Amino acid sequence: MTLRLLTAGESHGERLTVILDGVPAGLTVREEDLARDLQRRQGGHGRGGRMAIEHDEAHIVADWENWRQVMAVDAAEVKRKPITRVRPGHADLAGMLKYGANDARDVLERASARETAARVAAGGVAKLLLAEFGIQVRSYTRSIGTIEAFVPPSIKWGEVEGSAVRCPDQEASATMVAAIDAARERGDTLGGVFTVVAEGVPPGLGSYRQWDTRLDGLLAQAIVSIPACKAVAIGDGVEGAGLPGSQVHDVPVYDNGRLGHETNRAGGLTGGVSNGEPLVVHGYMKPISTLLKPLPTVDLKTKEPARAHYERSDICVVPAAGVVGEAMVALVLAGVLLEKFGSDSVAELHRNVESYLQETRR
């Protein structure tokens, strides 16, 4: 389906929200274009008294007060100088070519990582659902630039949240902070790696029946979809690629009345299915593309060499990206949990999950 309609809201709530995904670029849509049909919907002989006290109107929320002239919904009201000096590493050039845009502003606004605020909010809902079943999703910073953290077998999550860079290694944390400050002084940026850990995940989520049902594939897509994330690894996937199998695979054991593994190098996933161990996913973030000292580029209007457009930006987003990674992992896990156990009510889920867990305890 190329046009997808999503709605939310209640009959007597503050508003009804609609997302129409897939509208082609270049279509002019104004609030007044929608008003007549909304008015017609409320009319007709036989409608009740509530129509006399209610007045439906559409509000397109693509603009914000501080940017009303720059990003006005009505093209006639837009007052801005077009951005034609595309930024290396950003979606500017690819997006302008794809949608036939003459202004990078139309690309960078939607491609911006600011969109991840919505993901984190949605992920918060997913976390609440997962918590009903004892599943907890957290993250930490594994590295920034060339600085690697020492990660203890048992992470003290309070110390992670107390670190300015969300790192479990206090010494590495201080070095990371200094490296970020130094990059700022140079007008440069830094990338790094964040790690998401989901504990309490039951075995059996995901499937190997088709390529697009494998849980590792779903997680990989979710993590790499985070802006500036260029690679993903599950468990010791990167390190294991250079080792013999005898040093990589997790040996099953039966201990204290449950099946488990001596190690968790696979990161809680085998064959695209959760295996009962903690799920461990790493996201590799490239350095932020917008630099205080812009890189060379081309002005698409003049076709002449130029310095890239500068849009206010961060120096390092790895600690924040870990929070986004949590949201994405939580959303994926909540989805496969609902797929396996049903989705009509929490009570139904509890019954189904408990029955399943009893069957898997051998």
Is residue 66's pLDDT more than 80? no
82: in domain: no
Is residue 205's pLDDT more than 90? yes
80: in domain: no
Among the three residues 40, 62, 84, which one is the final residue of a domain in this structure?
A: 62
Q: Band of the pLDDT at 120, cuts 50, 70, 90?
A: very high
Is residue 163's pLDDT more than 60? yes
Same domain, 179 and 269: yes
Among 56-60, 78-82, 357-361, whose mean pLDDT is lowest? 78-82
Query: What is the domain extent for residue 125?
Result: 115-360
Among 2-16, 50-64, 165-179, 284-298, whose mean pLDDT is lowest? 50-64
Is residue 199's pLDDT more than 90? yes
Displacement of CA 360 from its chain's centroid (Å): 32
What is d(CA 34, CA 245) in angstroms, rounded to the nearest whole number?
62
Q: What is the pLDDT of residue 169?
A: 97
Lookup: tokens for 305:
């060499």
Same domain, 28 and 139: no
Same domain, 46 and 188: no
Among the three residues 43, 62, 81, which one is the final residue of a domain in this structure?
A: 62
104: in domain: no
Same domain, 58 and 119: no
Q: What is the pLDDT of residue 62?
A: 63
What is d(CA 157, CA 131) in angstroms, rounded to the nearest whole number?
17
Lookup: tokens for 116:
């991840």
What is d(CA 44, CA 52) in angstroms, rounded to the nearest whole number?
12
Q: Which tops the pLDDT comparison, 86 or 192?
A: 192
What is d(CA 168, CA 156) in angstroms, rounded to the nearest whole number?
7
Give the largest CA-CA distance in the chain.
Answer: 78
Same domain, 235 and 323: yes
Contact status, residue 121 vs residue 330, Cβ threshold 8 Å: no
In eight-state DSSP terms, residue 85 is B
97: in domain: no
State mean pLDDT over 202-223: 96
What is the CATH classification number for the domain harbouring 217?
A: 3.60.150.10
Is residue 273's pLDDT more than 80? yes
Same domain, 157 and 255: yes
Q: What is the pLDDT of residue 38?
A: 82
Domain count, the chain: 2
Residue 274 pairs in a beta bridge with: 269
Place of tokens 């992470």: 155
Instruction: Establish how many alpha carbons lie within 13 A of residue 346's alpha carbon, considering only the half-sphere containing its beta carbon.
Output: 7
